Amino acid sequence: MNEIPKVEFLKNNKDEIEFEIFTIKSLFSRINKLNPSLDRPHRLEFYLILFITKGTGVHFIDFQPCKYYEGSILFISKGQVHAFEINPEMDGFLILFTDSFLSKNLIHSDVLSLYRLYNYHFYSPILHPEEKGKNNFSNIIGSLYEEYNYTDDFAKEEILRLLLKLLLLKAERIKHNLNKQEKNSDWVIKFGIFRDQLVMHCTETRDAKEYARMINISYKHLNEICKAVTGNTAKKFIDNYVVLEIKRNLATSDISVKELSYELGFDEPTNFVKYFKKHTLQTPSQFKQILTK
């Protein structure tokens, strides 16, 4: 699983805040110096917001194309695999931040908001202008950009965090209105804990009952939570996640099917191939061939 190129948040010194905002144009101006390449799938180790102010095109998030245009906002979660479509006409802003930046002074409702907004099992990762209505995100993002580049550092981190919180809450309100189905807040938190355990232990076990034990709830309750939050059973959610991890690895590395099967905790490569084919109706080799066409 280390084969997928990872992009981490880089700090010049330990006291630097783990937040950054810059223009898409400035990113594209450094395209020849970046590794991995922007158009190569890579996994983020931080959260990313893309705000499009100019241009139309496609951004790929976990192999799914997301069409954007002026005014669109994309929310890409830590751990997701994404890739740019290189478009010289595109401009806007990239906002990068980490768990550490958010964790200071977070209260329960803030954690809940982050779980919901950055959980791609709840909502689409993109908001379009017609969905945003009269909500003007450009003012908030402009204020973030201005504050980030302001020369006086007094209270800078707290101001940035408050502006970011305002942006996230306004985005969550829109997404909530687009999806009126209410979700129990405690269940959302427990689902987030379950998902975190799955990320850490998916190579060790795919047994839903084992994950229920890890988070100290019954298997029946875990199923209730997963069905309410994602519409799937815990087992189906685990299978979907494992299949996505397989796709991520196949798409971003030259690892053999045999090696990958053992890395992901399968006893035999044949079982690995059967598992993947059962859930995707194609073999790992066929999936990789389609990607290279």
Each residue's pLDDT, cut to its tens digit, for the chain (293 residues) gives 445 577 888 877 767 899 999 999 999 999 888 888 898 888 888 999 999 999 999 999 988 899 999 999 999 988 888 999 988 889 999 999 998 887 775 655 565 566 666 666 667 889 998 888 878 899 999 999 999 999 999 999 999 989 998 998 888 888 877 765 556 678 888 988 998 899 899 999 999 999 999 999 999 999 999 998 888 999 999 999 999 999 988 877 788 999 999 999 999 999 999 999 999 999 999 988 876 65
CA distance 246 to 259: 12
Amino acid at 54: K
Orientation angle between helical segments 185-201 and 108-117, nearest 10 degrees? 60
DSSP 142-169: HHHHHHHT-S--TTHHHHHHHHHHHHHH
Question: According to the model, what pLDDT value does residue 60 have?
Answer: 92
Contacts with 62 (C-beta within 8 Å, 6 or more apart), sequence order: 80, 81, 82, 120, 244, 247, 248
In order of their start, the domains of the chain are: 6-178 (2.60.120.280), 186-292 (1.10.10.60)
208, 219 Cβ separation under 8 angstroms: yes
Question: According to the model, what pLDDT value does residue 183 have?
Answer: 62
Question: According to the model, what pLDDT value does residue 269 have?
Answer: 96
CA distance 160 to 157: 5
- Buried b / exposed e over 13-52, threshold 16 CB at 10 Å, is eeeebbbbbeebeebbeeeeeeeeebeebbbbebbbbbbb
Using H for helix, E for strand and C for coil, what is the string for 46-109? CEEEEEEEECCEEEEECCEEEEECCCCEEEECCCCEEECCCCCCCEEEEEEECHHHHHCCCCHH
Q: What is the pTM of this model?
A: 0.78
CA distance 284 to 260: 10
